[in-house]
């Protein structure tokens, strides 16, 4: 499979498949394709995994697109202004993604639910108690909000992240929540009560425009329901 990512504000990833190759996406993920792509809807590992994907922000069922009778092309477009990033997954090289980040992947990639081991991380971390985990083997494409900045953390190295800006991290990283120090900082600083603390080793991808921040900024301009 070859691919190219086009567009900056609303990107699309165009995948070029050889005969017999398969791409997987959630329902509604396909933007356009060549006519020899055959679609098959699947639970992607059983009803348990289907419910897990629903809890992590994606559709219960996945669509498999396979090139039949020759090479084919299929495109997957982002649903919000931001970035599409490719991740190469292999045994021992897995990733944790924010909810609803999964866009598409090769057939060898396994998409599963990821539950934060520490309850406080899930409750206050900004991305919720449930995230997405990708494993297996192949390329997965994830969509993030705004531009993406990547940091490589060494063992024991940490980075403090404001709520919602954590887009993805290597599965080797750990995530915890720390309280903003000082009562004035908590209630008058405008940064909320908690920050996310990610520790290495591994890579961290941060997004510049979380959709939750966009919704908050637009709220004063929306008509009141009363």
Q: Where are the domains of the chain?
A: 2-218
Cα distances (angstroms) measured from residue 102 to each of 97, 153, 160: 8, 23, 24
Distance CA(62)–CA(105), nearest Å, equals: 11
pLDDT at 17: 98
Q: SS3 of 199, please?
A: strand
In the predicted model, what is the mean pLDDT of residues 18-27?
Answer: 93
- Helix boundaries (H) for 3-109: 47-55
Residue of higher predicted confidence among 23 and 220 = 23
* pTM for this entry: 0.82
Pick the closest to residue 10 from 206, 144, 191 (CA basis). Answer: 144
Instruction: Tell me the pLDDT tens digit for each residue of 47-80.
Output: 555 455 444 455 667 899 999 999 999 999 998 8
Instruction: Tell me the pLDDT tens digit for each residue of 187-210.
Output: 444 455 678 899 999 999 999 988
Residue of higher predicted confidence among 216 and 178 = 178
- The answer to whether 64 touches 72, Cβ cutoff 8 Å, is no
The count of other CB atoms within 10 Å of the CB of residue 189 is: 11
pLDDT at 184: 44
Residue of higher predicted confidence among 159 and 131 = 159
Q: What angle do CA 51, 52, 53 make, to 5 degrees?
A: 90
For 168, the enclosing helix (H) or strand (E) is strand 166-170
pLDDT at 164: 85
Phi–psi pair at 197, nearest 5 degrees? -115, 115
Distance CA(78)–CA(39), nearest Å, equals: 20
Distance CA(204)–CA(209), nearest Å, equals: 16
pLDDT at 180: 63
Task: State which CATH number among 3.40.50.300, 3.60.160.10, 3.60.110.10, 3.40.50.10490 fits the domain covering 2-218.
Answer: 3.60.160.10
Residue 120 has pLDDT above 90, yes or no: no
Distance CA(172)–CA(180), nearest Å, equals: 25
- Cis amide bond preceding 143, omega within 30: no
Radius of gyration of the chain (CA): 19
> To the nearest whole number, what is the mean pLDDT of the chain?
83
pLDDT at 196: 84
- The answer to whether 97 touches 141, Cβ cutoff 8 Å, is no
């Amino acid at each position: 499979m070859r691919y190219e990512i086009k567009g900056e504000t609303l990107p699309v990833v165009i995948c070029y498949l050889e005969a017999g190759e398969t791409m997987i996406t959630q329902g509604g993920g396909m933007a356009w394709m060549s006519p020899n792509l055959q679609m098959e809807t699947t639970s992607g590992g059983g009803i348990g995994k289907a419910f897990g994907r629903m809890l992590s922000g994606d559709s219960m069922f996945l669509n498999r697109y396979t090139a039949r009778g020759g090479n084919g092309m299929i495109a997957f477009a982002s649903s919000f202004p931001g970035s599409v990033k490719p991740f190469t997954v292999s045994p021992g090289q897995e990733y944790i993604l924010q909810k609803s980040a999964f866009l598409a992947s090769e057939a060898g990639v396994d998409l599963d639910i990821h539950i934060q081991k520490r309850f406080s991380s899930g409750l206050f971390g900004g991305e919720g108690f449930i995230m997405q985990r990708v494993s297996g083997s192949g390329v997965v494409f994830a969509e993030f909000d705004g531009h993406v900045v990547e940091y490589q953390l060494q063992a024991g190295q940490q980075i403090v992240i404001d709520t919602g800006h954590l887009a993805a991290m290597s599965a080797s990283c750990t995530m915890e929540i720390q309280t903003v120090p000082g009562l004035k900082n908590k209630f008058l600083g405008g940064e909320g009560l908690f920050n996310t603390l990610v520790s290495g080793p591994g890579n961290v991808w941060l997004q510049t425009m979380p959709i939750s921040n966009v919704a908050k900024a637009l709220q004063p301009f929306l008509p009141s329901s009363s």
